Structure 1
Amino acid sequence: MTININKCTLEDSRKLQKIGYETFKETFEHQNSPENMNAYLDRAFNLKQLEKELSNISSQFFLVYFNDEAAGYLKVNTNEAQSEEMGDETLEIERIYIKKKFQKHGIGKYLLNKAMEIALENNKKKIWLGVWEKNENAIAFYKKMGFVHSGVHSFYMGGEKQMDFIMIKTLI
């Protein structure tokens, strides 16, 4: 078993689009209407949007491979790229998704460790993320990894307002 991670560039936008669509649908399709799912996917994963995000120096994407097969990805934000104003001492994990068939192989922990490494390299004291209140498996995983629930923020799935728990982990 080998896990490798590669930082994404603009040339990876189509790969990122493919894995973004696939992992988001796998994770949330059964709990959301097709209309809201498609509206979100079209907005969040169109190539123009992904290229804009890939070009932002305060955001970084990483593709993770399990035995040379794309298994998931990570997106982290600092500074003004964060989806909530959390201050200069924080790093946001905006997206961390793993294909279902690769879950339970330690990839989530691997990606979280990568995010913590980036945070520490950038002198950040905390990392945080938003997780849908109905995503019980993810919430349990983040708690196990030392994150604590500290608030909520709104997330829009198409036209539907949903609530994300904000979870924070102190690093130093």
Structure 2
Amino acid sequence: MEITISLITNKDILQLQEIGKKTFSETFSETNSEENMTKYLEEGFSKEKLTKELEDENSEFYFAKSKNEVIGYLKLNVGNSQTEIKEDNALEIERIYVLKDFHGKKIGQILYEKAIEIATQKKVNYVWLGVWENNKRAISFYQKNGFVEFDKHIFKLGDDEQTDIMMKLNLKN
């Protein structure tokens, strides 16, 4: 399967909204209430919010495509656009999501490698992310790629407060 990675721009907003909602829903709907999921999907993937994020010079989105079909995406943040740590020498992987039908086909790894390539180009000291403590699949993926846990923070999904494990990968020795 040939995978292409491409930078997402404002003209791709509807595709981004669609893949964002679908992958988030596939990943978390079984373990969260319908009300909380609906609220998060409406707010987190609104055209206004996505437009603002796409226009942010410190954030970048990338699609993973197979035969021109969007099958996953990546969101990266640097500087003040990072959700938590605001250090200039860090890059945040805010999102790597892949459609369920494509799990186990190395799409997440390809998106992850794109993130590391960009982090290297930007000469950051480390890459960090937050991952839900119950998302064992993702935690295992990041551990396999050398990430270690360094903190925790709260992620609000609707009225539910959930714990994210914060993980980092040092790029400088």
TM band (smaller chain): over 0.9
Matched, 1:3 2:3: yes
SS of the residue corresponding to residue 116 of structure 1 reads: helix
Runs of 4+ in 1 over 6 A off after TM superposition: none
For structure 1, list consecutive stretches of 5 or more residues without a partner in the other structure: none
Q: How many residues align?
A: 172
SS of the residue corresponding to residue 134 of structure 1 reads: coil
For structure 2, list consecutive stretches of 5 or more residues without a partner in the other structure: none
Matched, 1:125 2:125: yes
- Residues in 2 aligned to 1:85 and 1:76: alpha-carbon distance in whole angstroms: 13
C-alpha contact 1:7 1:60 (8 A) present in aligned 2: yes
Shift of 1:87: 1.3
- Residues in 2 aligned to 1:66 and 1:151: alpha-carbon distance in whole angstroms: 36
Shift of 1:70: 1.1
Alignment deviations for residues 67-115 of structure 1 (CA, whole Å, 9 cap, x no partner): 3321100000000000002411110000110001111111111111100
- TM-score (norm: length of structure 1): 0.98
C-alpha contact 1:66 1:102 (8 A) present in aligned 2: no
Supply the AA of the counterpart residue of 1:60.
Answer: E
SS of the residue corresponding to residue 115 of structure 1 reads: helix
Matched, 1:94 2:78: no
Q: Which residue of 2 aligns with 1:19?
A: 19
Supply the AA of the counterpart residue of 2:106.
Answer: G
Alignment deviations for residues 112-151 of structure 1 (CA, whole Å, 9 cap, x no partner): 1100111111110100110000001110111001100111
Supply the AA of the counterpart residue of 2:162.
Answer: Q
- TM-score (norm: length of structure 2): 0.97
C-alpha contact 2:154 2:164 (8 A) present in aligned 1: yes
SS of the residue corresponding to residue 2 of structure 1 reads: coil
Shift of 1:66: 2.2
- Residues in 2 aligned to 1:167 and 1:66: alpha-carbon distance in whole angstroms: 29
- Residues in 2 aligned to 1:86 and 1:54: alpha-carbon distance in whole angstroms: 19
C-alpha contact 2:21 2:41 (8 A) present in aligned 1: yes
- Residues in 2 aligned to 1:59 and 1:23: alpha-carbon distance in whole angstroms: 20
SS of the residue corresponding to residue 153 of structure 2 reads: strand
Supply the AA of the counterpart residue of 2:137.
Answer: N
Identity of aligned residues (%): 44
SS of the residue corresponding to residue 110 of structure 1 reads: helix
